[in-house]
Chain A
Amino acid sequence: MVFGYYDIRSFPLRFGGGGIGLSAYEIIRYGPLAHEPLRGTPYLYSVNRFKSLLILYKGDDEIQRLVNEKLKRHLSEGLENKKIFPGFNAVFKPDVDIEISTIPFKSYDPDEIFLAFQESCSDFNTCFPLIVLPRVARGDYDSIYYRTKATFLNEGVASQVFTVDLLKDEQNYKWSLLPTAIQIFTKMGGVPYALERGALGEKVPENVAVFIIGLGISYHPLLRRRGVGYLAVFDQSGAWYFMDSTVLLLSRDEDISKRVASLLTRSVNSILRYSNKNDNVLVIHYSGKDIGRAEEEAIASAIESAEKELNKFLAVYILKIRDSDIIVYDTQSIYMINKAQSGYPPVGLTLQLKPGLYLMFTSGYFEVQSSVRGNVRRGLSRARVISRHKEMEPAKDELKLSDKELLATVFGMCRLNYSSVQNPVAREPITVRYSREITWLSLRLSELGTNLDEDLKIKKVMWFI
């Protein structure tokens, strides 16, 4: 049943100046991989177009003091311990230093917050908003967090939120600065780091480009008939390309598979336009979080409908990724917690249930530089169930990649983690990790009148992390 192990040491990260390392913290040493997307990069999407980072906060005395004495100062100058965070410009080295300033707003009202931003920024292409908001439950669709983000997105502006609670949290605050800065840099259009060799490495000839897309269907948390079909496109090193989404209405009058097919077709055509190689391979990760039989059939039917476009690829591989209640206890675990054997398995352990059906464990322990560390201390290490859907794949397969190689794309994409950089392996691959954020914000955008089927500028940046 044990199928193999994916080891983080085989998936190093690539940073700026050719720097290579296992930990995302190496970005402090080497700088970011690129200031603009790797897909072909008009200045419109470069970090270097930004002149200012505006910290927007509710203008009461305590928050004002914390924002000025901590957040603004530390983003500008870094912490005393520069190894933890040396400052935004020091890490990312833009062509011209980005000026960091603070702007108060009157109340926690998205329109008020946007107004404050608008009054301080004459050109949205040059200012990035970092908004200080109270912490809210992630599962609250109507929260100030989602409403504010949607208001900014509706104007074509990606934003970053920093919580008041984190500002006040002495313990976690300092460790949150680098991940926050990395997310801001990514949303500006930069690529902080990517996999050094690509998830498939040498298994793919140099003249072939590999794209990995996350595809999913998700629903409104309360109105089950309203949903979103979405996809996010990366290359095999995990470098971001673009995202796209479309609103779905589950009614007898609408065939959701047609809308998903249309989304897939236009995205596949964009991929081929962006690719600088003649031969291309597509790996589709589709998320099973919200997927029932109807959605699964819609995706299968959409892939079938897009066959003409998909046949332009040397091969298309399809993996379904979902959560499970499957756990393993490692009787030989070398990961100790409070001097006791934890029982957590090695990160990357993969079991096979049958041909095409696998269990991958992405929480547990890993060995780096002869020390044993874990990315979980409490709770369970649940398997991701990964199934290869050969029956959905177009017949053309000129690369004949094995399941083992394809599973590496899942593990590789788990290495890409821009939001909690301390963790070298996220529980889910970046391709399908943000289904809720993409769905909820896409729904809100459509409620605000944005036509998601149009070619929006915002689709070219990774606004949802």
Chain B
Amino acid sequence: MGCARLYRYIINFVDVRPSNDRLSVFRISKTLKDFGFTRVAHVVNMYSQSLVSTSLSSEYGGLKPGVYIASVGHVASKDMLRDELKVAFARYFEVLSQRSSPQKHIQSFSSFYDVDTLVNALVDSVVEEAVPSTSYVVANLLDNLMERSIAIQYKCYEKGARICIKLDVKTLRELMQKDEEFSREPLFNFCRERPSLCGQDNDGCARFFRVVKEILIRFQHSVVNNEEKIYMIFFSRYRRLSSLKLKDVIDFLKNDAKLSVKDVINALRGIRINVTLSEGSALYEIKDVKSEEGSDVVELECVDKGLREPQELRIHYNELEAYNVRINPTYKSSREFIYNYLCKYYDEHKKLSWISFSTYFKILESDLKIFRRLLAEFKLSSVLLGNVTYTIGDSFVWV
């Protein structure tokens, strides 16, 4: 790190620089029945306005266990903390009481606990501390803050990644400023050739697929030569998003592709689909689609033989949403169906990854600039946690 010429490797890490050595935090040091550190941190992150938190289950790097809470955009007093926690827990219990989930054990304590008593007990255990501004908990606080600051329309999901941001071609174009950035970005050419995969048409490709750029980030704590640092790990890739709800597919075949009922049935037979049942998702195969009293009924047979009850399912057209019935594109029969009836080009996004490693890295450098502009949109160019401003760097780290 430091002078680039001294180092050889560029890593997809970005420096995150704090303005002060110490960060003021509140640490809830005691657990209460039903409210372990993890749950309290969850409530703070989900339902408070200007607090962010993380939990630490055991001592680590000189930090004691507890729930670490930092205020966002200002320095908070203990009374402000108490007020905001009361609002957060009240909302949490309200959401729980409205939930139709069968998790009665969780619902029960929403009526058992009095918010004031609970929050007072938590705040009574609060210790006000000044932790190193590059300590382990800071990476988690930044992760949690970033996660909830991203506007919902940009959010995507990736297993194992903390923060996933999706950018379609239109958003990318709006965020780019220089010719160099435009010329580096292969998604523009791709969308010129395949506009329907980029949402610019109304055919099967556009209805069921969308190719986007995804940016994955998370914050990482590091200790090198006894010096603690915080980095942001930055990664991007292209992805084809699919929305293959069987109900929409049937509507499309009937209304847009103008297939007869008989042809729809023949097209769908043998396709493998995921069905959401109470105990999880299961793989079924479409055996038939029948018309009964003016409504379509999809007859399914479980593929995981011997594993799943019921072995056969009959789902009415208007129940397809409730069962979250979606085509599973992993299987040959489903892929052939997609190719023949929905979108011939659904695998074309793979070409976006046929680039050299050095080209990928250049694109990644552009993506970092675009990401910083996006942060400005989320008012996160500089992150003010308590008394410390964190500035995210504009280039990758050399090591």
Contacts and interface: CB of A to CB of B under 8 A. Distances in A.
Interface of A: 1-2, 136-137, 139-142, 222-226, 323, 325-332, 337, 340-345, 349, 351-355, 378-381, 391, 447
Interface string B262-274: 0000000000001
B11 interface: yes
B190 interface: no
A222 B9 contact: no
Contact of B9 (A331, A340, A380, A391): A331
Contact of B358 (A142, A224, A226, A340): A340
Contact of A329 (B161, B308, B357): B357
A325 B10 CA distance: 14
A134 to B, nearest CB: 10
B304 A223 contact: yes
Contacts of A378: 354, 356-357
B221 interface: yes
A328 B222 contact: no
Given A223-B280, A331-B8, A354-B221, A342 B356 contact: yes
B1 interface: yes
B9 A352 contact: no
Contact of A327 (B8, B11, B160): B11
Interface centre among B12, B306, B353, B354 (most CB of A within 10 A): B12
A355 B227 CA distance: 11
B9 A345 contact: yes
B152 interface: no
20 contacts: A1-B222, A137-B330, A141-B304, A142-B304, A222-B283, A223-B279, A223-B304, A325-B216, A327-B361, A331-B8, A342-B357, A342-B358, A343-B356, A345-B9, A353-B220, A353-B222, A354-B221, A379-B353, A379-B357, A391-B58
A110 B14 CA distance: 52
A329 B361 contact: yes
Interface in B250-277: 274
B235 interface: yes
B313 interface: no
Identify whether the interface residues of A are mostly helix, strand, loop, or mixed: loop
Nearest to B328: A222
Contacts of B11: 1, 326-329, 351
A326 B233 CA distance: 7
B12 A1 contact: no
B224 interface: yes
Contact of A328 (B1, B9, B223): B9
B280 A222 contact: yes
B32 interface: no
A354 B222 contact: yes
Nearest to A335: B357
Closest 5 pairs (CB-CB, A-B)? A354-B223, A325-B235, A1-B399, A343-B358, A328-B9
B12 A327 contact: yes
Contact of B331 (A1, A140, A226, A345): A140
Interface in B346-381: 353-354, 356-358, 360-361
A354 B357 contact: no
Contacts of A139: 330
B358 A329 contact: yes
Contacts of A354: 221-224
Contacts of B233: 325-326
B281 interface: yes
Contacts of A352: 224
B3 interface: no
Contacts of B360: 380
B161 A222 contact: no
B358 to A, nearest CB: 4
B307 interface: yes
Contact of A330 (B9, B304, B306, B353): B9
Nearest to A338: B356
B10 A447 contact: no
A331 B304 CA distance: 50
A325 B13 CA distance: 11
Contacts of B131: none
A329 B280 contact: no
A1 B281 contact: no
A1 B8 contact: no
Contacts of B308: 223
Contacts of A342: 356-358
B356 A329 contact: no
Interface centre among B8, B9, B216, B308 (most CB of A within 10 A): B9
A29 to B, nearest CB: 34
A352 B399 CA distance: 11
Interface centre among A141, A326, A381 (most CB of B within 10 A): A326
A351 B9 CA distance: 10
A325 B161 contact: yes
B313 to A, nearest CB: 15
Nearest to A134: B332
B303 interface: yes
B282 interface: yes
A222 B361 contact: no
A328 B304 contact: no
A139 B235 CA distance: 24
